Amino acid sequence: MNRKLLRTIALILPLPVIFFSLFTGASELVSSGDVWSLFFSPADKPADIVNTIVLNIRLPRILLVFLSGGVLAVSGSAMQAVFRNPLVDPYILGLSAGAAFGAALAMSVVIIPVQVSAFVFGLSAVGLSYLMALKNRQVSIISLILSGIITNGIFTALLTIVQFISDPFKLQSIVHWIMGNFQNASWQSFNLALLPALAGLSVLFLLRWKLNLLALGDVEARSAGANPVRIKIWVLIAATLASSAVVSVSGIIGLYGLIIPHLVRMLFGVNNKETLILNFMLGGSFLVLIDDISRSFRGFEIPIGVFTMLLCAPLFIWLLKKTNVGWQQ
Amino acid sequence: MAAIDNTLIKISDLSFSYGKGQEILSGTGCSIRENRFTVIMGKNGSGKSTLLRLTAGILPYRKGSIMIRGKELKSLKPEERAKYTGFLAQQHKAVFPFRVSEVVLTGRASYVKFLPGRSDELEAERAMDLLGISDMKDRIYSELSGGEQQLVMIARILAQNPSTLLLDEPISHLDYNNQLHTLKMIKHLVENRVTVVAVLHDPNMAYLFGDEFIYIHNKKAHEVHEKRAWEHPLVKQIFHDQLHTIEYNGKHLFIPQLS
């Protein structure tokens, strides 16, 4: 079976990707040989600087990038099932804009943890998009995208106000955060994101088969004796928790959660029971590879959020042209 | 077959309105017999779908009672209720290209905590076998014809294993051949001890295949168990007196009265 082989490759891909990414970086102090000997000939003790750069700068960053990519892809595919729309992701429904506003608010005005604020506002934004699109207990695909645009607009406007009243020093950190940047990744930020991300992922993983049920439609789910509203709320909270956890340490990484699930569907079909884990593995691996490119530039670094947006936007347009399902509801 | 009274569902005093709007059904009642094919007929907007949705537990009712095997429907939890009634909506639109077997398996939701097991897969296979669609289990649901999709959705509620299948206009969107095929499969299910209730519009199909009839008129349901159900006075009302009956080979056929 060709697909079985492909699946196995996708599942073990993270190992080589993470390992070889340790060799990539802007630092001139570390050569490939140094990294190699760090792992394979511990006898000739590597310099402290090599040790620090590889294990305390590169490794946590790579793991954080992997976690972020995986979480965005998994949350994206879960939301696509909830909204029965292959073209939504946390970004389109306003989660990122809401989370960005929440984070900026926490950074400049209110003294609450950035992550908590990002989560609360991220969830409110997704809820707002959903409620705006809700009419006669139904949500049409096109109105959901439109309400997402409005939500994005509202929170972007609010964000601008916060930026306007922030002092230049805080403003800089807000702008950096929004662009989506792993430059400040550390074990600390990885640990901060890990717990809520894993909590959200576990719930999604448990509910992965129920996503198929949601994807069929509300009446169909109800008829089969399920409570679609309850499952949707669980999925949305879990997906929002996980994505706002990574968004709050990495900034906004646009469209990524839309493209990867599409790629996975093209390769492995639509059965969420099988594809959720593949979304995590491929989503993580690809973002690490993209980050490798952005890390290889010496002197300056293109923020990864900018990078993925430029990369994914043409793909999104292509999908929009190609996908002709469900625009009438 | 002798008409023994084997009531499966007993509806009484049922009233319903959407929001604060006009009542769609007003203090009405009827019964559904076990292992029979009951056909619901009535004009557009008369409340056929509403009655079906109420019985399916898709719509909640406040006034009246729906008893299934002696249990009040609204007192049942959704996953219990699913063992009594399975509902097929008028039209289903697929967004994602699921395989047929994956669609049918979702019918098992009320039995599944998190992931379906081997027994659920077997039930799904049994349902597909019964409808003769096992050979399309690996095909993509959204790429099937309307008739094939309808059979897949019926298999899906069959996998749910409810006492009654409630089908809302199962043949309205199908071409003539598929209408016949679907009704034959429904008849086949009834012969295999499945109770089916369906909304149909075409009197020929209805009286050719139906065992029992429920006419909905003026917010009330009227059950008719007589052999010549088309002679009931309400039929004239439902079809505005435009139905002409002719006999052919011992069967009764219905043609519209033109002019």
SS (H, E, C) chain B: CCCCCCEEEEEEEEEEECCCCCEEEEEEEEEEECCCEEEEEECCCCCHHHHHHHHHCCCCCCEEEEEECCEEHHHCCHHHHCCCEEEECCCCCCCCCCEHHHHHHHHHHHHCCCCCCHHHHHHHHHHHHHCCCHHHCCCEHHHCCHHHHHHHHHHHHHHCCCCEEEECCCCCCCCHHHHHHHHHHHHHHHHCCCEEEEECCCHHHHHHHCCEEEEEECCEEEEECCCCHHHCHHHHHHCCCCEEEEEECCEEEEEECCC
Residues of A with CB below 8 A from B160's CB?
Answer: 223-225
Substitution target in A214, A223, A262 with the highest count of B β-carbons within 10 Å is: A223
Q: Pick the more confident residue, A61 or B236.
A: A61
pLDDT digits (tens, 9 = 90+) for A172-230: 878 877 776 787 788 888 888 899 899 999 999 999 999 999 998 888 888 888 888 88
CATH number of B1-83+195-259: 3.40.50.300
Least confident range from A297-306, B24-33, B222-231: namely A297-306
**Cα separations (Å) of B128 from A180, B85, B103, B201?**
49, 18, 11, 27
User: Chain A contacts of B103, Cβ < 8 Å?
Assistant: 216
pLDDT at A329: 36
Q: What percent of chain B has pLDDT over 70?
A: 98
Least confident of A83-92, A156-165, A261-270: A83-92
Per-residue pLDDT for A16 more than 50? yes
Task: Tell me whether 0.95 is exceeded by the ipTM.
Answer: no
Per the structure, the count of domains in chain A is 1
The verdict on residue A298 lying in a domain is: yes
Q: What is the CATH number of the domain that holds A105?
A: 1.10.3470.10
Domain map (residue ranges) of chain B = 1-83+195-259
Mean pLDDT of A6-10: 90
Encoded tokens for B222:
């009227």
| Most confidently modeled range among A88-97, A116-125, A209-218, B228-237 | A209-218
Q: Which pLDDT band, with edges at 50, 70 and 90, does B1 fall under?
A: very low
How many Cβ contacts (< 8 angstroms) between chains A and B?
98
More confident position, A287 or A38: A287
Output the pLDDT for position B2.
45
- What's the pLDDT at A280? 96
Which site among B73, B96, B115, B137 would you substitute to test the A interface, given the most A Cβ atoms closer than 10 Å to its Cβ?
B96
Tens-place pLDDT, residues A244-286: 888 877 877 878 888 899 889 888 889 999 999 999 999 999 9
Q: What is the mean pLDDT of residues A78-94?
A: 83
Taking CB atoms and an 8 Å cutoff, what residues of chain A touch B83?
225
Confidence band, pLDDT 50/70/90 cuts, at residue B120: very high
Q: What is residue B104's predicted lDDT score, i.e. its pLDDT?
A: 94
Question: Do the domain assignments include residue A329?
Answer: no
∠ CA B100-B101-B103, nearest 5°, is: 65
Please report the pLDDT score of residue A325 as a whole number. 45
B190 or A48, which is more confident: B190
Mean of the pLDDT values across residues B215-219? Answer: 86
What mean pLDDT is predicted for residues B114-122? 92
Under the banding of pLDDT at 50, 70 and 90, the label for residue A137 is low
- Asked if A226 has any chain B CB less than 8 Å from its own CB, the reply is yes
Beta bridge partners of B198: B39, B167
Which residues of B are less than 8 Å from A212 in CB distance? 98, 102, 105-106
Looking at residue A42, what is its pLDDT? 66
Inside any domain, residue A328: no
Q: State in Å, rounded, how far the first CA of chain A is from the last one.
A: 36
Instruction: Give the distance from residue A164's alpha carbon to the nearest chain B alpha carbon, in angstroms.
Output: 43
Confidence of residue A135 (pLDDT cuts 50, 70, 90): confident
> CB distance B99–A219 less than 8 Å?
no
**In this model, does residue A113 exceed pLDDT 90?**
no
Q: Which of residues 85-144 of A touch B (CB under 8 A)?
A: 85-86
CB contact under 8 A, B96 and A226: no
Mean pLDDT of B77-83: 89
Q: What is the pLDDT of residue A136?
A: 65
* Contact call for A213 and B109, based on CB within 8 A: yes
Q: Say how far apart CA B99 and CA B121 lie, in whole Å.
A: 14
Q: What is the mean pLDDT of chain B?
A: 86
% of chain A residues with pLDDT over 70 = 91
Nearest CA among B148, B110, B140, B108 for reference residue B127: B108
Q: How confident is the model at residue A141 (pLDDT cuts 50, 70, 90)?
A: low
> What domain range includes position A271?
2-322
| Tens-digit pLDDT profile for residues A58-72 | 899 999 999 999 999
Q: Identify the band that residue A298 occupies on the pLDDT scale cut at 50, 70 and 90.
A: low
Q: What does the mean pLDDT of chain A come to?
A: 84
Does residue A280 belong to any structural domain of this protein?
Answer: yes
Position B146 scores a pLDDT of 83
3-state secondary structure of A269: coil
- Which pLDDT does position B174 carry in this prediction? 83
CB contact under 8 A, B81 and A225: yes
Min Cα distance B244 → chain A (Å) is 38
Residue range B17-49, pLDDT digits in tens? 887 788 888 888 888 898 999 999 888 888 888
pLDDT at A50: 76
A215–B78 C-beta distance less than 8 A: no
Q: Is residue A327 domain-resident?
A: no
Task: Report residue B116's pLDDT band, with 50, 70 and 90 as the boundaries.
Answer: very high
pLDDT classification of A327: cutoffs 50, 70, 90: very low
